[in-house]
Amino acid sequence: MKQYATGAPAETVAVTSSSDVVTARQMVRTLAQRSGLSLVHQTKLVTAASELGRNMLVYGGGGVVRAAPVSDEGRRGIFVEFTDEGPGIPDVELALTDGWTSGNGMGLGLSGAKRLVDEFEIESGPGGTTVRIVKWGR
Amino acid sequence: MATEDNTQRLVDALVAGRDEFTAQWNRTVSGNLQGRLSTAELGRELGELYEAIVQALTAGGLSGRGEEFAEVRSLLIELSRNRARQGFTPSETARSVLALKDVLEPALTTDGHGAEIYLQFARLLDDLGLLTTEAYVRTREEIISAQAEQLLELSTPVVKLWDGVVGVPLVGTLDSARTQVVMEKLLQTLVDTNSTHAIIDITGVPTVDTQVAQHLLKTVVAARMMGAQCTISGIRPQIAQTIVALGIEFGDIPTNATLAEALRQALKEIAQDAEDDARGLL
Amino acid sequence: MTDRVPVLKIGDILLVSIQTDLEDQMVMDLQDDLSHRIVETNAKGVVIDISALEIVDSFVGRMLATNASISRILGAETIVVGMRPAVAMTLVELGLSLKGVRTALNLERGLRLLRRLTAAPADRA
């Protein structure tokens, strides 16, 4: 994923419980509103953040959500990064297919979140998992 | 220094011949634009530009992208934007600047030293000419993208067909961006008008491929989750044949051949519900 | 202790109006509470109003679908009402279609649909 110019310092939320997931998605929504994303774009981004935040909590044992407004060639968007120090995802390719789940979800977490955003990047190893997403405004 | 001397001589020449040069510049450019711009407006534009160039040169600059030429550049960008909006061509726009070369050539190239100065000045004007083209193109791009957005809005009028029924006639190609807009408008109209039925008429859609079918299906499913029913109408015989031939999955999409038939169906369902409601109250 | 979403009883209908951003625990508690209340009150229908929800992710979506199945087994119809357009578009993109969940545009239409569903079989029999 390209390194985009950030419009403001990143805001972070440490996620250790399901109430932190709510806090994290509220932070993402506030940033998206401030950057002028349309309501549908905001909703898609916040929903993706909710999926990824929950994934991080359930499979990664919690972690940190970092979000910042970004811009590129006149477009404005929101960048969000989810980092955990969990056991990692053994087969990222498999985890990105619809219907695959190792927990009690519907298996839409990763693949669904990917469809809701414009850019999606995942790095996973024994030391943890990092997911980065970008949603651009209209 | 030689360049400083050159610049100074250039400034002297420009100041001394101001009235003559600007008049001639005006004539050349207005001949070029064939009266599509008022003489007064052109005179003001070129006059301001001339003064700004003299000032920039006086400040010691000969590089069009330098600090001294900031004012010149902003005037040129303004000029190019106006020309782009008024429908002039990029060459016509660039020539407004380049014409100054023709004006100055006879006056400056009277001797070898003068020719050297003229060349330096010509390079500067070439650079400024390029700048107008860049600004021109940028403006046209802005116009195009603004129009594309307007077109998107214009091409998707969601109308109330009857109490409880809204419809949208689709015309042209359906891509993701357009589907998004249509979907959003249609679903919002359902809420705003408290309508339970939506009809998307695709009589004006040239072809239906897998992707278009996907988009239509998404709209149908979204409407259903909101508690409304969405029907696709206006499926021309050729389109029906294509759908079958390509094996496109249309199964979950309720369809009707014509808009009239879809509306009749929707009204029948609404009437049935109303009847059931009345019976339920007894 | 997390907050719980209130389940209101009106006649033989249970009304749930979700007004806050849902935490996962609240979602699970709601599913639990609802199935118990259906049995306790012998409710014929459940209306879940989600018009205040700004997002519905796969977790909440799954609860709505599961809940519809559970209440059907317990003899009650569930109607989800008031889903926002942006939420519906997002759910579709996410890959959820809430198959088997009955929906209505708003609370009023939801209650009417429920009355129709519960009255109709007896009427036509």
Identify the structural domains of chain A with CATH numbers, from first to last. 5-136 (3.30.565.10)
CB contact (8 A) between residue C91 and residue B222: yes
Q: Does residue B233 surpass a pLDDT of 90?
A: yes
- Based on the domain organization, do B14 and B144 belong to the same domain? yes
Q: Which of A17-26, B129-138, B238-247, B253-262 has the lowest mean pLDDT?
A: B238-247
Confidence of residue C121 (pLDDT cuts 50, 70, 90): low
Q: Does residue B224 surpass a pLDDT of 70?
A: yes
Q: Quick one: fold of C7-124?
A: Transcription Regulator spoIIAA (3.30.750)
CB contact (8 A) between residue A116 and residue C87: no
Residues B226, B187: contact at Cβ < 8 Å? yes
Question: B187 contacts in C (CB within 8 Å)?
Answer: 85, 88-89
B71-116 pLDDT, tens digit per residue, is 888 888 888 988 888 888 888 888 888 888 888 888 888 888 888 8
Burial class (CB in 10 A: 0-12, 13-18, 19+), A138: middle
- Based on the domain organization, do B11 and B141 belong to the same domain? yes
The length of chain B in residues reads 282
Q: Does residue C125 surpass a pLDDT of 50?
A: no
Q: Which of B129-143, B151-165, B215-229, C101-115 has the lowest mean pLDDT?
A: B151-165
Tell whether B115 is within 8 A of chain C (Cβ): no
The two structure tokens encoding residue B93: 């726009």
- Based on the domain organization, do B174 and B147 belong to the same domain? no
Question: B188 contacts in C (CB within 8 Å)?
Answer: 85
- Based on the domain organization, do B124 and B78 belong to the same domain? yes
Q: Which of A47-56, A70-79, C5-14, C29-38 has the lowest mean pLDDT?
A: A70-79
Count of the separate structural domains present in chain B:
2
> Angle A83-A86-A90 (CA atoms, 0-180°, nearest 5)?
105
Say what the pLDDT of residue A91 is.
Answer: 79
Q: Does residue B282 surpass a pLDDT of 50?
A: yes
Mean pLDDT estimate for chain B? 85
The two structure tokens encoding residue C20: 């806050």
How far, in Å, CA of B45 to CA of B89, rounded? 18
B35-69 pLDDT, tens digit per residue, is 778 888 888 888 888 888 888 888 877 777 778 88
Question: C21 contacts in A (CB within 8 Å)?
Answer: 22, 25-26
- Based on the domain organization, do B190 and B131 belong to the same domain? no
Tell whether B249 is within 8 A of chain C (Cβ): no
The length of chain A in residues reads 138
Q: Does residue A107 surpass a pLDDT of 80?
A: no
The length of chain C in residues reads 125
Q: Name the residue range of residue B263's domain.
A: 159-281
- Based on the domain organization, do B60 and B170 belong to the same domain? no
Question: The domain spanning residue B7 has which CATH number?
Answer: 1.10.490
Say what the pLDDT of residue A108 is.
Answer: 63
- Based on the domain organization, do B163 and B146 belong to the same domain? no
Mean pLDDT estimate for chain C? 90
- Based on the domain organization, do B169 and B146 belong to the same domain? no
Residue B227: left (phi > 0), alpha (psi -120 to 50), or beta? left
DSSP C76: -
Which of B92, B122, B151 delimits the end of a domain?
Answer: B151
The two structure tokens encoding residue A79: 């960048």
CB contact (8 A) between residue C123 and residue B184: no
Q: Angle C85-94/B176-193 helices, nearest 10 degrees?
A: 140
Say what the pLDDT of residue B273 is.
Answer: 87
Burial class (CB in 10 A: 0-12, 13-18, 19+), B5: exposed
Mode of pairing for the β-strands spanning C13-17 and C102-104? unpaired
CB contact (8 A) between residue C88 and residue B223: yes
Cβ-nearest to C94 among A19, A26, A116: A116
Question: B190 contacts in C (CB within 8 Å)?
Answer: 85, 105
Question: How much is the average pLDDT of B16-23?
Answer: 87
CA B222 to chain centre: 31
B125-142 pLDDT, tens digit per residue, is 898 899 899 999 988 888
Which amino acid, A52? L
Say what the pLDDT of residue B160 is.
Answer: 93
Say what the pLDDT of residue B1 is.
Answer: 45
- Based on the domain organization, do B120 and B198 belong to the same domain? no
Q: Does residue C122 surpass a pLDDT of 80?
A: no
* Bigger pLDDT: B203 vs B67: B203
Which amino acid, B173? T
Confidence of residue A95 (pLDDT cuts 50, 70, 90): confident
Say what the pLDDT of residue C86 is.
Answer: 96
The two structure tokens encoding residue C96: 């959820």
C20-64 pLDDT, tens digit per residue, is 888 899 999 999 999 999 999 999 999 999 999 999 999 999 999
- Based on the domain organization, do B129 and B192 belong to the same domain? no
How far, in Å, CA of B198 to CA of A15, rounded? 42
Kindly give, in sequence order, each residue whose CB lies less than 8 Å from that of residue B77, ignoring residues fewer than 6 positions away.
Answer: B131, B132, B135
Residues B71, B54: contact at Cβ < 8 Å? no
Say what the pLDDT of residue B29 is.
Answer: 86
How far, in Å, CA of B140 to CA of C11, rounded? 65
CB contact (8 A) between residue A105 and residue C89: no
Return the SS3 of A11: strand
CA B166 to chain centre: 30
Tell whether C112 is within 8 A of chain B (Cβ): yes
Q: How many CB atoms lie within 10 A of CB A97?
A: 11
Q: Does residue B2 surpass a pLDDT of 70?
A: no
Tell whether A46 is within 8 A of chain C (Cβ): yes
Question: C105 contacts in B (CB within 8 Å)?
Answer: 190-191, 194-196, 226-228
The torsion angles phi and psi of B90, rounded to 5 degrees, stand at -60, -35
* Bigger pLDDT: C120 vs B24: B24
Question: C80 contacts in B (CB within 8 Å)?
Answer: 225, 227
Q: Does residue A100 surpass a pLDDT of 70?
A: no
Question: C91 contacts in B (CB within 8 Å)?
Answer: 222, 225
DSSP assignment of A73-93 equals TTEEEEEEEEEE-SS--S-HH
* E-only strand ranges, chain B: 159-162, 165-171, 197-204, 229-233
Which amino acid, B254? P
Residues B231, B198: contact at Cβ < 8 Å? yes
How far, in Å, CA of A41 to CA of A60, rounded? 27
* Bigger pLDDT: A67 vs B182: A67
How far, in Å, CA of C109 to CA of C83, rounded? 13
A35-63 pLDDT, tens digit per residue, is 999 999 999 999 999 999 999 999 899 99
The two structure tokens encoding residue A134: 């970008």
How far, in Å, CA of C101 to CA of B36, rounded? 65
Measured between CA atoms, how close is C117 to chain A, in angstroms?
29
- Based on the domain organization, do B191 and B143 belong to the same domain? no
Residues B146, B83: contact at Cβ < 8 Å? no
Say what the pLDDT of residue B213 is.
Answer: 83
Question: How much is the average pLDDT of B193-219?
Answer: 88
Question: How much is the average pLDDT of A108-129?
Answer: 90
Q: What is the 3-state secondary structure (H, E, C) of B210-274?
A: HHHHHHHHHHHHHHHHHCCEEEEECCCHHHHHHHHHHCCCCCCCCECCCHHHHHHHHHHHHHHHH
CB contact (8 A) between residue B191 and residue C85: yes
Mode of pairing for the β-strands spanning C45-49 and C77-81? parallel
Say what the pLDDT of residue C66 is.
Answer: 93
Cβ-nearest to B226 among C97, C103, C119: C103
CA B6 to chain centre: 44
Kindly give, in sequence order, each residue whose CB lies less than 8 Å from that of residue C10, ignoring residues fewer than 6 positions away.
Answer: none
CB contact (8 A) between residue C119 and residue B226: no
Say what the pLDDT of residue A106 is.
Answer: 46
Confidence of residue C123 (pLDDT cuts 50, 70, 90): very low
Tell whether C87 is within 8 A of chain A (Cβ): yes
Confidence of residue C124 (pLDDT cuts 50, 70, 90): very low
Which residue of B225, B249, B276 is the best one to mutate when testing the C interface, meaning the one whose CB has the most C CBs within 10 A?
B225
CB contact (8 A) between residue B280 and residue C92: no
Cβ-nearest to B225 among C88, C110, C123: C88
- Based on the domain organization, do B70 and B106 belong to the same domain? yes
Confidence of residue B280 (pLDDT cuts 50, 70, 90): low
To which residue do tokens 């590089």 refer? B63
